Amino acid sequence: MNTVSDLNIKKAIEYPYLPEGRTLEYVPITNQHMAAARAYAEENSIDTTMPTGSVLVLNGEIIGRGANGSTYHQENVCVRVAQNIPTGQGYDLCEGCTHKNHSEPRSILDAQERGHETKGADLYLWGHWWCCEPCWNAMIKAGVHRVFLMEGSQIFFNKEEEGNVVGRQFDVSRV
C-alpha cells in the first residue's frame, strides 16, 4: 500500500492555477491547524461533493474559519456543469460556484469581521488540492503569507486521480 509520502514523490504536481512567485506547502493530516480545517469542513460545509474548510492562522492562533458551499444548487442547475466547464474556470458564471462561496475567502472575511489583521497569516486548506485564481487573489489582497494543503491532497481530493476520496472526504483520516 502506498503511503502519503510515496504519493507526494511519485510525480510532480501540476496545479490548474498557481500565481507566479507563490507555492503550496504540505502538512500531515495530524497537523493541528489542518485538523481544525478538516473539523470545520465536516461541521460547516454544505457542499456534498467537495466539502472544504480552511483556517487562517496568525502567530499560532486561529483567527478565521471558513467552509464552502451554497444552497443555490439545491434549487438551480449549475451553469458550469450544464456547460461542461472545467474545474477552476467560470466560477463567476454560477451563483452557487462563485468564489465568495469558497472556504478561503470566507476564512479571511471571518477573521476581518472579528477585527483581526490578516497580513502575514497562513491559510490551511482541507478538502482540496489547489486554490483557484479568485481565491488566490483574495488571499494575496489580504496579505496571506503561506498556504498549506494536506499531504497527498493532489491524489485524495482530485477527481481525476485514481485513489481519490471525492464524495467520501471524511474517510481520509483512515489513509
Record the cell numbers describing residue 109, joined without a space.
472575511
Per-residue pLDDT band at 172 (split at 50, 70, 90): low
pLDDT (average), residues 118-145: 97
Distance from the Cα of residue 2 to its chain's centroid: 23
Under a CB-based contact definition with an 8 Å cutoff, are residues 144 and 66 in contact?
A: no
For residue 5, pLDDT over 50 is answered with no
Share of the chain above pLDDT 70, in %: 88
Given this model, what pLDDT does residue 175 score? 46
- Rounded CA gap, 153 and 145, in Å? 20
Given this model, what pLDDT does residue 55 score? 98
Give the phi and the psi of residue 34 in degrees, each rounded to 5.
-65, -40
pLDDT digits (tens, 9 = 90+) for 19-31: 999 999 999 999 9
Say whether 111 sits in a helix, a strand or coil. Answer: helix
- DSSP code, position 85: P
For residue 170, pLDDT over 70 is answered with yes
For residue 8, pLDDT over 80 is answered with no
Q: How far is CA 44 from CA 50, 153, 165, in A?
A: 12, 20, 19
- Rounded CA gap, 136 and 105, in Å? 9
User: Cα torsion for 131, 28, 65, 43, to the nearest 10°?
Assistant: 110
Given this model, what pLDDT does residue 11 score? 59
